[in-house]
Amino acid sequence: MRRIVYTLLIIIAIILIVGIALIISNTIAPNPNPSSGNLKDSIQKITVSEVTHSVFYAPQYAAINLGFFKEEGLDIELLNGGGADKVMTAVLSNDVEIGFAGPEASIYVYNEGSSDYTQVFAQVTKRDGSFLISRVKENNFQWENLKNKHILPGRKGGVPYMTLQYVLKKHGLNIDTDLNFDNSISFDAMTGAFLSGTADYVTVFEPTATNIELEGKGYIVASVGEAAEEIPFTAYFAKKSYIENHPDIIQKFVNAIYKGQTWVQTHSSEEIANAVLSSFPDTDIQVLIKVIDRYKQIDAWNTTPFMTEDSFNRLQTVMTEAGELVQTAPYDKIVNNTFIKN
């Protein structure tokens, strides 16, 4: 009897020892991917409405495709707003968290007296990124050639429209008396209208401009941005309340964009083309390289997200001369550079 009890005690002791050993090993064993669960849980989805889908915004697509936003814990969903006015409407109605368009939209909203106006917190482009397309080939194009012609310039009050008007004024052309400056067609419908036979000239962004030329349906004759001075052309903005309530998200967003800007500045056109290719699956890689070369040549991109007061005031000068701005807006109200200094 004693022998049986002794044997049972030994078996129980062995079971207990093995069980304790297994518990300890599971507790101290390293997780082969310790951060995977936490990283997934910490990723926050942010919806951004962009004014148009263009290689002009290469730093943004590089930041997305190279994982710079994911590194900051953000998952970006891009929506094509089809014009700055539509982007602003989406932001103000809380359909998206962040807008990406011309800063003029934020100036308009502030001047309307809204208490929860939008603030610009990161600039990406510093020149107009559109190109003037002619229906016929012009080997020696001059801006004066536009006299008595029909042009599709975009939405009245938008930066592309006002920048082109500014360039024409520099060359002695009055949009009211010297040519047909036709703003009856919305920004996102201009290319289709031109290809259907409307107008002698149209302004479009890349890669659309190059694709039109390759198809023999038009010819790039000038860069609007190259002909104009530097102005803050495209920037990110959000409602003041959103920025105040989510400073951590804005900081992460700015960090990711700055990484994209730095990367684009330090890599070749071919490398940039490969980085943004997945954002333009229907565009040939050689076309992308050619387009990026064009934007590099006109020095289109900011090296940092910081918007200077001089450039902001220059934008308001362009708006005033275009007859679209009666009252200027204060730089320190519209532009929030706080997150760039952090």
pTM of the model: 0.80
Structure tokens at 59: 């730093």
With the CA atoms of 302, 155, 85 and 192 taken in that order, what torsion angle do they form, in degrees rounded to the nearest 10? -90
Per-10-residue mean pLDDT of the chain, 342 residues long, equals: 49 49 39 38 91 95 98 97 93 98 95 96 95 95 97 89 93 96 91 96 94 95 92 96 98 98 98 98 94 94 96 93 93 97 58
Decide whether 42-127+231-341 matches 131-227 in CATH topology: yes
Q: In this predicted structure, what is the pLDDT of residue 160?
A: 87
Between CA 315 and CA 322 the distance in angstroms is 11
Q: In this predicted structure, what is the pLDDT of residue 111?
A: 96
Q: In this predicted structure, what is the pLDDT of residue 317?
A: 93
The CATH class given to the 131-227 domain equals alpha beta
CATH of 42-127+231-341, one of 3.40.50.10800, 1.10.10.10, 3.40.190.10, 3.30.350.10: 3.40.190.10
Q: Which contacts qualify for 82-85: CB closer than 8 Å, 24 or more apart?
A: 82/51, 82/52, 82/186, 82/187, 82/188, 83/51, 83/52, 83/155, 83/158, 83/186, 83/187, 83/188, 84/51, 84/155, 84/158, 84/159, 84/187, 85/155, 85/157, 85/158
Residue ranges per structural domain of the chain: 42-127+231-341, 131-227
Between CA 188 and CA 191 the distance in angstroms is 7
